[in-house]
Structure 1
Amino acid sequence: MPSSTSRPVDDPARPGHDLVVVANRLPVDSRTLPDGATEWVTSPGGLVTAMESVMRTVDSGAWVGWAGSPGQEPDPFDADGMSLYPVRLDQEDIERYYEGFSNATLWPLYHDVIVDPEFHRTWWDSYVAANRRFARTAAPVANEGGTIWVHDYQLQLVPRLIREERADVRIGFFNHIPFPSVELFSQLPKRNQMLRGLLGADLIGFQRESDTQNFLAAVRKLLGYHVDGQTISVPGLGAAPVREVVAQTFPISIDSSKVSALTEDEEVRARAEQLREDLGHPRTIVLGVDRLDYTKGIRHRLKAWGELLGDGSVDPRETVMVQVATPSRERVEAYRQLRDEVELTVGRINGDHSSIGRPAVSYQHRSFDRRDMTALFMAADVVLVTALRDGMNLVAKEYVASRPDLHGVLVLSEFAGAADELRAAVMVNPHDIDELKAAILRAMAMPAEEQEEAMRSLRHQVMENDVQAWAHSFLQRLEHSGAEVREPKPTVRLTGEGATDPAALDAAMDTFAATPRILIASDFDGVLAPIVADRDAVQPDSAALAALRDLSEMPGVATALISGRALGDLDSHARMPSSVVLVGSHGAEVGALPPWMQAEVLDSAALTMTPEKDELLASITENLQQIARAHPGVEVETKPSAAVLHTCNARGRGGHNATESALEYAVNLPDVTVTPGKEVVEFSVVHTSKGAAIETLARASAADAWFYLGDDVTDESVFGRLGENDVGVKVGGGDTAANHRIAGTEDVAAVLTRLAGLRREG
């Protein structure tokens, strides 16, 4: 990947870019040639592998990142069709920002504290300074109205820093590693600053739904911001408008077709055959491919393998394990200790079980290029991905893409993000050594027919959902994110406790009663019935109910009860005729309608769905479809406000497994009603608003004006919608958007009776 002539960032001849990627590293490493020239070659790593193909599809793309060496950064340059903008990191930055705060504080904390995170204030200072440097480099590079996509945990402050400079651009952030539970995240010093840094983005992406929910929980608990589904309302400073930020799940993938195409290369095929020959033509090759990192479960894997050899379950004359451990962060003490421990364990296993010329474990502490890695995958009969915690793990997907022959078995940790999608793998809890050993033996003994069935399902998932689809999904969602909304100031028409002038209310009712078509609606508790401690013991005012029934029988009059109670509960206590429409759960449930009301207007979706809930429902549907794809025969039904997983046609244990997956996923959806049934699991999304309900009722009944009685804060969404001819009556004291007030429930019957009399006289 040779470089072209370099030009400064602020060179007016250098064009801006529509898409700017910001990551800790540039996608290239420098290499000095014998003649002293510099050559740039593609660097290893999951992010580079994922994004390289995406950048090639962009007309005007740039990448901002560190070039890999401390000291003065090179000038911006072009390489392999991309414009690259290096960021300077000094040796102190590397030690404090990268090795320190990023990899000794954030990495272990975000990976469930597998090792103890270290907290040092000087590391935080360096993290802030480095993030500011990345932001200052990236901000001027984007075109007006362009897109800046920031990546990963090292740069969590960058979105806000860019937004301070460039309010015109759309900013996305994608977190490639897990996001911890709020209990763990709360341990982080400067945690609120980190959240606010992330909330500078318009769209924040995560690998797993649990990560998304963890982030939303942290925002709710630690910042106190309003969260509606996946949308966060971020207040501005002073008069600045409220911004809407979306947090959503986007499982990353690989360039599947490119990896799969390599398996057709004759040189790669020959290399795969040569590998088996070099290993002594074993019956079974078991492969592990990881960065040398304590989150990858390498120690657990070697322990299980050593025990299998020791108890005779695996014959080292017929089976060999290959462990590729790519060097990683070897200046960090925890990684140096891990390397020493792994090498000691490999040496002990080989000393105990290897025969001359054939190791029990072939340990490779080096990097492999893509072609050699594909050959390794083609040669491997079993691949072990036993991460203790992983955002995704692309090795699992690369192995699947490398097996168009439908042979091979993937053993996959349930704690890797890939487990949410690759459900046909042999799932394992790597912390349970006995379970891990059993999974390895099962994989080694799996019949060819079962291998083919599982691999076919895995390949369908990986080939259909490649890195281009991932990037397109994220960027498309980003394009529709970032709407600025002004904080609605609640309307206050009345303050205090006392009732308004009875004559004024009487005059308003007189005018209202003369309107040709009217809607009269009321809350139940606190209006038609006094509030009581035992909700089941509520006693509505019989005179008020009688007046409402009387009104419902009059021509041109529509009547309704709109309550927070469930519809059935409301019906049992109100006992109203069918001429009175019952609306329960703050507008989420609608009872029977009179024949003259336009039912097609008054449906549950019209009352309950919002754009935010549509987004949440789409996310749920997508996750259920992922579950369904992993279990043949499972289907997903979509409804206006729900998604339903049907397992009646699932094969084997697929129905049970799909149901379990759906219920596990449901744990992370506190705002969704999940109802398991016989061979179904329903996820229902509802938005409850009495204000939306009254507007829909008015449309359905073609009312020229409406009259509403309410007593609490949930009724303010109705009073806030009062039109010129509408009447809102607050029952009781407090600030309100209603235009009239009565003292309490004891006055409600008189108001309704007076309305009935005026209407009858008219």
Structure 2
Amino acid sequence: MASQELHDLVVVANRLPVDAKTLPDGATEWVTSPGGLVTAMESVMRNVDSAAWVGWAGSPGEAPEPFRADGMDLYPVSLDATDIEKYYEGFSNATLWPLYHDVIVDPAYHRTWWDTYVSANRRFAKAAAAVTAPGGTIWVHDYQLQLVPEMIRSERPDVRIGFFNHIPFPPVELFSQLPKRNQVLRGLLGADLVGFQRESDTLNFLASVRHLLGYQVDQRTVTVPGIGAVEPRDVIAGTFPISLDTQAVTELTEDPEIKERARQLRHDLGDPENVVLGVDRLDYTKGIRHRLKAWGELLNDGSIDPRETVLVQVATPSRERVDAYRQLRDEVELTVGRINGDHAPIGRPAISYLHRSFNRRDMTALYMAADVVLVTALRDGMNLVAKEYVASRPDLRGVLVLSEFAGAADELRAALLVNPHDIDELKSAALRALSMPEEEQEEMMTSLRRQVLDHDVQSWAKHFLDELEAVGEPAPPSAPIIRLSGDETPDTAQLDAALEAFADTPRILVASDFDGVLAPIVADRDAVQANPRSIGALRELTELSGVNVALVSGRALEDLQHHAGMPSSVALVGSHGAEVGALPSDLHADVMDAGTMTMDETRQNLRDSIARRLQHIADQHPGAEVEVKPASAVLHTRNAKGRGAGNATEAALEFARGLPDVTVTPGKEVVEFSVVDSHKGTAVRALGRAAAADALLYLGDDVTDENVFAILEDGDLGVKVGDGDTAAAFRIEGTDAVADLLERLLELRTGEE
């Protein structure tokens, strides 16, 4: 098992680069999996110190523990059956894939697919953020994870984030059809560098950002406005055509066993004069049907003699639970059967159809055996088959027929370029390839090999990572380091020991949030009622020597005073620190500034204008409400109907982008716009100084409470109430557990156990 160390480079992709193989004794062996991304990245990972890969292990259910395989530290992410259905097969492959490939097949849209896509992306983002070293680099790959960059940035602004899109990016006219299109664009713009295969893809992306988000685009630089008063940041979009590990391919071509295997393959096919090869995933974007139609017509009109020329079609199984792929397989196999029935000589097929995966050794042998390779993709991000064929032909023989709609066509200009939609052109190119003289083949292949060998996968990765390194320094850490994730809970004995040590400290400050901690969360905020046990324990603590108590809430100060019902010996801080009530006599008022809130007419007008905009958003999402505090305006979404909560929050955050002089705090079903720069962490730090406390205890349940947990020092005690990632060292379940903890602290402090 790999240790949970922090890594300088973390690759994030939908799949891990290995597949599980069950051995006869029941043990699991991890073997390198096929695929363009794995082939491309495997060698990169081996040549980087302290690198890790985050991805799905390939089976539904709980993820395996982190492990090491093939010299790589691997961190599995869990996907259950619903995730696979809706995130992977649904939004990724039935919505995004066809849309990004020029709508060759109509995309399908379902809102629940989007919800699952968001939750799955968040899982990948959290896993990557947790294993990346401070100042490290995270490289996110492909269309399944387009929201991950922004999610990582919100948690780890101290790291560099790159995103590479392996498939095409569609023109703005097509991309505009995508529901949640703006969220996808903002997800990608969480990266510092967004890379694409082709120049046209890069320009399509920039056009979408300009037209749909309205962001400033200067050549390849996008200026992304900050949320509220957060400074804008620049994102670079660039073109980085991927390649392959040419050294590994070269070594395979020099292997005597593979050379012999290539000769044997031609013999098994009946030693024809010409072997033509197609290698594709069984996908509607690959143009297999167009290729077969052209081949069938060549046989029908006698241009090709099936006794002299055979087509080998490798169709790797792909997404066979998706209807469009099952239908494609049926059509392809029906067409192959019909052509063979009409034209195959006895004992020899006209088309040798292979619906299975091949390892790299067998694929290299096939490439070495083929006189012509047909790459007829209707739309493809790159298509590494074209480059693999070129790299496999050190003999400078063979002809590559290449679709102009494959990304490889931008680089492999010496190939026979075709429009695969034009069947006559495709037929002519195939015949020209079959009749090309050896000296012309040599000239073509020499040019192609120079391009492929000079631009291998190592140079691709170095180019991308060097560019990422040059985009600027990451922001200093602003988000607290996560100490507990999800619902992870330390042993209760550990908490009790920490509480006992805290109770023995001479001067202590006990501070707490109100809603969700002292009082259960309720739909009607005015109907909130604090747990009487907690309130009673806090009151008694204020009467003890060396103890100060404070409530620090997002509620307005007047509202907090009304619902908390605390004595004057308890310090009350409202509006996340922007409002400070009358301080108890034993707190140093000159340290804890009661005049923190400095509202003037300009800020009041800004607050009122924000409130009007938030009310407009709330009116569009029934159940959402707006609260106006002395120093802020707040959108509450707890009672919003259906999808209204998420949509209202999204609208509020979109409004917040570029809004000057405002601190925007998204919380639990709430977004607060404060015209005074303050947060709970600042307030609690000031309270600690005012109380001259040697240590402090803080209880909180919300995102806004993480600002407090982040500033706690040795000897302090942070306790998260409820689930969620947190910088607190301890966690308890709910308001009843809070009451138990406060009563236990009272016992320890008074010695009345």
Judge same fold: TM > 0.5, yes or no.
yes
| Cα displacement (A) at 1:149 | 0.1
Displacement of 1:80 in angstroms is 1.3
1 CA distance for matches of 2:426 and 2:274?
A: 17
Q: How does 1:547-696 map to 2 (within 5 A)?
A: none
Kindly indicate whether the alpha-carbon contact (under 8 Å) linking 1:285 and 1:382 is maintained by their aligned counterparts in 2: yes
Structure 2 equivalent of residue 188 of structure 1: 178
Alpha-carbon distance in structure 2 between the residues aligned to 1:157 and 1:483 = 22
Query: How far 1:106 moved relative to its partner?
Result: 0.1
Q: What one-letter code is carried by the residue in structure 2 that aligns with 1:353?
A: H
Q: For residue 73 of structure 1, give the secondary structure of its aligned residue in structure 2.
A: coil
Q: Which residue is 2:225 aligned to?
A: 235
Mapped partners of 1:141, 1:58: distance in 2: 16
Report 1:510-529 matches (<5 A).
none
State whether structure 2 residue 90 is matched by structure 1 residue 100.
Answer: yes
SS at match of 1:19: strand
CA distance in 2, matches of 1:112, 1:482: 35
Q: Could you state the TM-score of these two structures normalised by the residue count of structure 1?
A: 0.62
Take 2:155 and 2:74, find their aligned partners in 1: how far apart are those partners? 20
Match 2:276 to one of 276, 286, 310: 286
Do the aligned residues in 1 keep the contact of 2:159 with 2:474 (CA within 8 Å)? no
Q: Hey, what's the Cα distance between the residues in 1 that align with 2:251 and 2:441? A: 21
- Residue 106 of structure 2 is aligned with which of 108, 113, 116? 116
Q: 2: distance between equivalents of 1:368 and 1:80? A: 20
- Provide the secondary structure at the position in 1 that maps to 2:264: helix
Residue-by-residue CA offset, 1:683-731 (whole Å, 9 max, x unaligned): xxxxxxxxxxxxxxxxxxxxxxxxxxxxxxxxxxxxxxxxxxxxxxxxx
> Is the contact between residue 18 and residue 33 of structure 2 (CA under 8 Å) also seen in structure 1?
yes
| Matching of residues 101-500 of structure 1 within 5 Å | 101-482=91-472
* Contact 2:122/2:148 (<8 A) preserved: yes
Paired AA for residue 395 in structure 1: V
Percent pairwise identity: 79
1:84 aligns with 74
1:238 deviation in Å? 1.2
Distance 1:115 1:80 in 2: 38
Shift, 1:253, TM fit: 0.2
Aligned to 2:8: 18
Provide the C-alpha distance between the structure 1 equivalents of 2:274 and 2:108, rounded to a whole number of angstroms. Answer: 42
Question: Residues 235 and 115 from structure 1, CA distance in 2 versus in 1: closer, same or farther, beyond 3 angstroms?
Answer: same
Aligned residues: 476
Q: Distance in 2 between matches of 1:445 and 1:18?
A: 52
User: Per the alignment, in what secondary structure is the counterpart of residue 319 of structure 2?
Assistant: coil
Matches of 1:241 and 1:56 in 2, distance apart?
37
Deviations 1:117-148 (A, max 9, x none): 00100000010010001001110111110000
- The one-character-per-residue Cα deviations of 1:8-48 (angstroms, maximum 9, x if unpaired) are xxxxx632101000000000000111111110001111000
Q: Secondary structure at the match of 1:197?
A: helix
- Other structure's SS at 2:76 match: strand
The CA distance in 2 between the partners of 1:345 and 1:68, in whole Å, is 32
Q: Residue in 2 aligned with 1:501? A: none
Deviation at 1:480, TM superposition (A): 0.9
Q: Offset at 1:484?
A: 7.6
Amino acid corresponding to residue 303 of structure 1 in structure 2: K
Q: 2:300 is aligned with what amino acid?
A: G
Counterparts of 1:136 and 1:223, CA distance in 2: 26
Give the Cα separation in 2 of the matches to 1:444 and 1:235. Answer: 56
Q: Could you tell me how far apart the structure 2 residues matched to 1:260 and 1:457 are? A: 17
Q: Distance in 1 between matches of 2:158 and 2:149?
A: 13
Task: For residue 173 of structure 1, report the CA deviation from its aligned partner.
Answer: 0.1
Tell me if structure 2 keeps the 8 A contact 1:377–1:399.
Answer: yes
Name the counterpart of 1:71.
61
Structure 1: which amino acid aligns with 2:395? D
Does the 8 A contact of 2:121 with 2:147 survive in 1? Answer: yes
2:636 alignment partner in structure 1: none
Q: 1:359 to 1:400 in 2, by over 3 A?
A: same
Q: CA deviation at 1:356?
A: 1.3
Aligned residue for 1:431, secondary structure, equals coil
Q: What is the rounded CA distance, in whole Å, between the counterparts of 2:17 and 2:257 in structure 1?
A: 26
Moved over 4 A (4+): 482-485
Q: Conserved in 1, the CA contact under 8 Å of 2:160 and 2:474? A: no
Q: Given residue 256 of structure 2, which amino acid in structure 1 is its aligned partner?
A: E
Contact residue 151 and residue 190 of structure 2 kept, 8 A: yes
Q: In 1, are the aligned partners of 2:158 and 2:474 still within 8 Å (CA)?
A: no
Find the counterpart in structure 1 of residue 728 from structure 2.
none
Match of 1:60 in 2: 50
Which residue type is aligned with residue 349 of structure 1?
Answer: I
Structure 2's unaligned 5+ residue stretches are 476-753
Counterpart-to-counterpart distance in 2, 1:25 and 1:16: 20
State the SS of the aligned residue for 1:69. coil
What is the CA–CA distance in structure 2 between the aligned matches of 1:474 and 1:357, rounded to whole Å? 51
Measure, in 1, the Cα distance between the counterparts of 2:470 and 2:308: 56
Distance in structure 2 (CA, Å) of the matches to 1:55 and 1:356 = 49
Q: Which amino acid aligns with 1:309?
A: L
Which residue identity is paired with 1:265?
Answer: D
Say if 1:241 and 1:484, in contact at 8 Å, map to a contact too. no
Give me the whole-angstrom Cα distance separating, in 2, the residues matched to 1:179 and 1:231. 17
The answer to whether the Cα contact below 8 Å between 1:203 and 1:482 also exists between their aligned partners in 2 is: no
Name the CA distance, whole Å, in 2 between partners of 1:206 and 1:475.
14
Q: Which amino acid counterpart does residue 138 of structure 2 have in structure 1?
A: I
Match of 1:33 in 2: 23
Q: CA deviation at 1:290?
A: 0.2
After superposing the two structures, state which structure 1 stretch, 28-37 or 174-183, moved more: 28-37
AA in 2 matched with 1:85: Y
Q: CA deviation at 1:482?
A: 4.4
* Alignment-mate amino acid for residue 419 of structure 2: N
Task: Give, in angstroms, the shift of residue 205 of structure 1.
Answer: 0.2
Retained in 2: the 8 A contact 1:173–1:198? yes
Q: Is the 8 Å Cα contact of residues 174 and 204 (structure 1) preserved in structure 2?
A: yes
Contact 1:208 1:391 in 2 (8 A): yes
Q: CA distance change for structure 1 residues 482 and 92 in 2, over 3 Å: closer, same or farther?
A: farther
Which deviations, in whole Å up to 9, do the C-alpha atoms of 1:37-89 show, x marking residues without a partner? Answer: 11000111100000001000011110000000000110000111110000000
TM-score by length of 2: 0.63
For 1:438 and 1:267, locate their aligned partners in 2 and report how far apart those are by CA, in whole Å.
35
C-alpha separation in 2, matches of 1:14 and 1:135: 16
Q: What residue identity is the alignment partner of 1:316? A: P
CA contact (8 A) 1:23 1:64 kept: yes
CA distance 1:482–1:119, change in 2 (3 Å) = farther
Is the 1:245–1:482 Cα contact (8 Å) retained in structure 2? Answer: no
Distance in structure 2 (CA, Å) of the matches to 1:241 and 1:442: 59
State whether residues 411 and 425 of structure 1, in contact with CA within 8 Å, keep that contact through their aligned partners in structure 2: yes
- Cα distance in structure 1, aligned partners of 2:93 and 2:32: 23
Q: Could you give the per-residue CA deviations for residues 663-693 of structure 1, whole angstroms, max 9, x where no partner exists?
A: xxxxxxxxxxxxxxxxxxxxxxxxxxxxxxx
What SS does the aligned partner of 1:59 have?
coil
Aligned partner letter, 1:177: I
1:723 corresponds to which residue? none
Q: Provide the residue aligned with 1:632 in structure 2.
A: none
Q: Unaligned stretches of 5+ in structure 1? A: 1-5, 8-12, 486-762
CA displacement, residues 555-596 of structure 1 (integer Å, 9 cap, x when unaligned): xxxxxxxxxxxxxxxxxxxxxxxxxxxxxxxxxxxxxxxxxx
